[in-house]
A and B are shown apart, each in its own frame.
Chain A
């Protein structure tokens, strides 16, 4: 009988291709299997670790599925009232301008109840990074219509699909903030594919670098999924995201700093 293999025999130092960042805590994510939040959290913490700014970074958690983000990120964090994260971030950054401050917000938080705080923080050009997770639905409260819910998309408060005449249009807030002079970098990315995750990580890194260079506000949208709220399997949700979300919310940079346009 062959000798039983041990973990260290299989995973050898030279074969290691992935290591979890130390800036994620050991707490088990409460997110649904297949949800994009976990990947987005990891990418954020990888960037903070690689830039070696754990002791200078303060994050703001929103109200929504990621309300408990502070359970997973091993940095100082504050939990804001619904939609107010950009104002909370402003208070922190203005009184501690040498820190790196980011908000992590969903679509309901950022583009519905917090629209005023979002627009004005962007317009003032606060030196912060806003990470905007857009999955077109209210996940935590059980799948209600969001400001970013697509036309004809079903939710628990638009059970027959979003009727534009009655319920209004989905809001492209990322396009909106790209118009404001206070934003230096506005981009839309995904995390449901390895390539997308790599690009998102690069975007997050830029966001923090622009803070250091005091260029203004960087706004990074991640078009994500909600297989529970969309009532699909994780794979189907990712396919649906590509076929329906991305045509309306196209990927790529909407705005880059002047000197990087060349």
Chain B
């Protein structure tokens, strides 16, 4: 199964109520797969190709405001268009799942894989003070699994979740273990589980309003404070990462998604050559594994951030270790995936020899 197909199948099986999207390479297989699967017949899940990414994300806003489990997907230029809707969704505290199958930029850029949307994803992306929960899959299996995880986190915190993938993981084919079909929630269940949702005002409750507007500065600041508290809680409870041979590591590679797959090979190659290298793979990019990196900064002699970007995540690593250890970046851009050999060379030159 392709990564893009896996995430589409996972949405149906997780009991999603709707998908709204607009085609863009390299993720059009998501909506194509859904269309071929007739989700309306399989589970009653709504599928709609919108007139634009802007419209699609606002359809998500509406349906999410009604307590529905809905997702959209796009790739970098399309995600830029969605940013308006995403900040409104964050401001109205609505749960939803957004998939970004990243391609290189800026502008129309390239349709080849990239990780250059890191900043846009983990720092907010649209206007205002907010964060998305950002999950970074490194396999087709994780594309599948992060639908359930992403929706669970989104509803738990009433916050949009982004699955930050890339063109390589979206397009590659791997074996996937798929789960059981979960039922969609009934309207009664939605009313009970999500009492804030706009399901129609009944006599037994006040009207529900979904909005991100607050004209009173004092109240707006209180709301900003509430969001900050929520993000703090997420940072305390939801950090996820994978460590590969970090126990005795003298040097640390930090990489997510496609880059982390290359780095696994680098670890093996380096160990064969007698260099004790470990890999820390962040699974959540927000919340970022800051604490673990700070701990490891007392153990290793240097860290190399390997990214398919001009060096974005490296800034968060530097903030996490706060000068305790040397942190460098190595990466390729424009849709080029770095080879294990060149990463190992960079590690030797920038960290070990440096």
Task: Point out residues on A near B: beta carbons under 8 Å.
Answer: 54-58, 60-61, 67-68, 70, 73-81, 84, 87-92, 94-96, 99, 116-117, 120
Q: Which of A70, A79, A120 has the most CB of B within 10 A?
A: A79
Q: A56–B70 contact, CB under 8 A?
A: no
Report Cα–Cα, A87/B57, bound state, in Å.
8
The contact sample of 6 A-B pairs, CB cut-off 8 A, is A55-B203, A74-B207, A77-B207, A78-B209, A87-B50, A96-B199
The smallest beta-carbon distance between B308 and chain A, in angstroms, is: 32
Q: B58–A79 contact, CB under 8 A?
A: no
Q: Which of B60, B199, B209, B211 contacts A91 (CB 8 A)?
A: B60
Residues of B within 8 A of A73 (CB): 207
Report Cα–Cα, A144/B213, bound state, in Å.
22
Report Cα–Cα, A129/B30, bound state, in Å.
31
The smallest beta-carbon distance between A261 and chain B, in angstroms, is: 30
Q: Which of B54, B61, B88 has the most CB of A within 10 A?
A: B61
The smallest beta-carbon distance between A47 and chain B, in angstroms, is: 16
Given that A90-B48, A94-B18, A94-B46 are contacting pairs, would A76 and B62 also be in contact in the complex, using a CB cutoff of 8 Å? no
B156 interface residue, CB < 8 Å from A? no
B59 interface residue, CB < 8 Å from A? yes
The smallest beta-carbon distance between A87 and chain B, in angstroms, is: 4
Q: How large is the interface on B (under 10, 10 to 19, 20 to 34, 35 or more residues)?
A: 35 or more
Q: Which of B64, B65, B213 has the most CB of A within 10 A?
A: B65
Given that A87-B50, A117-B51 are contacting pairs, would A76 and B207 also be in contact in the complex, using a CB cutoff of 8 Å? yes
Residues of B within 8 A of A76 (CB): 198-201, 207-209
Report Cα–Cα, A110/B82, bound state, in Å.
19
Task: Point out residues on B near A: beta carbons under 8 Å.
Answer: 17-18, 20, 46, 48, 50-52, 54-56, 58-66, 68, 70, 84-85, 88, 92, 187, 198-203, 207-213
Q: Which of A60, A75, A92 contacts B207 (CB 8 A)?
A: A75
Residues of A within 8 A of B213 (CB): 67-68, 79
Report Cα–Cα, A78/B61, bound state, in Å.
9
Q: B18–A91 contact, CB under 8 A?
A: yes
Residues of A within 8 A of B50 (CB): 87, 90, 120
Q: B201–A92 contact, CB under 8 A?
A: no
Residues of A within 8 A of B202 (CB): 55
Report Cα–Cα, A54/B60, bound state, in Å.
23
The smallest beta-carbon distance between B298 and chain A, in angstroms, is: 46
Q: A92–B54 contact, CB under 8 A?
A: no
Residues of B within 8 A of A57 (CB): 200-201
Q: B212–A117 contact, CB under 8 A?
A: no
CB-based closest 7 A-B pairs: A91-B62, A91-B59, A87-B58, A79-B211, A88-B62, A76-B198, A91-B63
- Closest residue of chain B to A97 (Cβ to Cβ) is B46
The smallest beta-carbon distance between A258 and chain B, in angstroms, is: 26
Q: A79–B20 contact, CB under 8 A?
A: no
Q: Which of B20, B84, B207 has the most CB of A within 10 A?
A: B207
Report Cα–Cα, A74/B208, bound state, in Å.
9
Report Cα–Cα, A92/B68, bound state, in Å.
9
Given that A58-B200, A78-B209, A90-B48 are contacting pairs, would A95 and B63 also be in contact in the complex, using a CB cutoff of 8 Å? yes
Q: A74–B201 contact, CB under 8 A?
A: yes
The smallest beta-carbon distance between B334 and chain A, in angstroms, is: 32
Report Cα–Cα, A55/B203, bound state, in Å.
8
Residues of B within 8 A of A117 (CB): 51, 54-55, 58
